[in-house]
Amino acid sequence: MESKVNAYSFSEEKAKLPWYKYVTVEPVMFFYMLAFMITSVIEQTFYVFKACTINHGYSEEICHNISSYKEINNEVQVTVSTFHQWNGIASHIVPLLLAFFIGSYSDKRGRKAILLAGLLGKLYFSIVITLNTIKAWPLEYVIYTAAFPSALTGADLSIFAGCFAYISDASSLKNRTLRVGILDVVYLSTMPTGVAIGEYNLPYDCVYAVIFPFISLDLLK
């Protein structure tokens, strides 16, 4: 009973704060999703180029104009499709298992731990996939060195679960639905924006350099 009274008092106190005091995990979600969407466009080109030059051994000139070589393009696309299948399994099998426990863990230990774990996992992914631009590393090294180790932290699952759970905890009963809706708008708005920026085809190394300050800012919050 006492805990309910304290929670109610906390909610009433929060309701009296100025609007900018309500800003908590929204910047985290915005910067993370913006960086994710920017790089998601570039990643597809990177995977095709990597498979073409390293896995199949074609010249960079051919791989830069792969659409002009139908047979080579079909051959490379099969390799990339196989990569995506295994990359999807490696990236989601651990978070799928963590989904059964991460909620109860954060209820006891707090939301910050899982949120930081997810952000650190994605930061690790960003660093290591940049190393995968080394020409000697074949495409499947992305799975072994970046995707699977990053997934051990929960990655996207931890970030989304942490953000939405924290919003629910920090909101009054009156404002909870509104704040969850705002968080949805914040991360959904980055999708067209990030894709539009990614279409400028920035150099791959440069794009991942953009991620580092975004995620670093998130980690400092």
pLDDT, tens digit, 9 for 90 and up, residues 32-41 = 888 888 888 7
Residue 37 in contact with residue 191, Cβ under 8 Å?
Answer: yes
Confidence of residue 27 (pLDDT cuts 50, 70, 90): confident
Least confident of 42-56, 86-100, 184-198: 184-198
Q: Check residue 53 and give its pLDDT.
A: 92
> Is the distance from CB of 105 to CB of 162 less than 8 angstroms?
no
d(CA 5, CA 142): 51
CB atoms within 10 A of CB 131: 12
* Residue 112 or residue 87, greater confidence: 87
Whole-number pLDDT of residue 202: 56
Look up residue 179 and give its two tokens: 């704040």
Q: How confident is the model at residue 201 (pLDDT cuts 50, 70, 90)?
A: low
Mean pLDDT of the chain: 82
Residue 76 phi, psi (nearest 5)? -70, -40
Query: Highest mean pLDDT range out of 86-100, 109-123, 181-195?
Result: 86-100
Structure-token pair, residue 21: 């005091």
Q: What is the dihedral of CA 183, 160, 22, 15, to 10 degrees?
A: 90
Task: Please give the Cα distance from 82 to 11 (Å, whole number).
Answer: 50
The answer to which of 1-10, 15-24, 57-66 has the lowest mean pLDDT is 1-10
Residue 115 in contact with residue 162, Cβ under 8 Å?
yes
Interhelix angle 26-50/204-220, nearest 10 degrees: 160
Mean pLDDT of 112-127: 88
131: which 2 tokens? 């190393």
Placement of tokens 């774990």 in the chain: 117
Residue 107: the pLDDT is 86
pTM: 0.77
Q: In the chain, pLDDT over 90 holds for what percent of residues?
A: 30
Structure tokens at 212: 């580092």
* The pLDDT of residue 118 is above 70: yes
Q: How far apart are CA 59 and CA 8, in angstroms?
A: 66
- CA angle (151 as vertex; 179, 119 as ends), nearest 5: 45
Residue 220 reports pLDDT greater than 70? no
35-220 fold? Growth Hormone; Chain: A; (1.20.1250)
Question: What's the N-to-C CA distance of the chain in angstroms?
Answer: 32
Residue 13 has a pLDDT of 52
What value does the mean pLDDT take over residues 87-91?
Answer: 94
Give the integer Cα–Cα distance in Å for 208 and 196.
16
Is 15 a residue whose pLDDT tops 60? no
In the prediction, which pLDDT does 191 show? Answer: 86
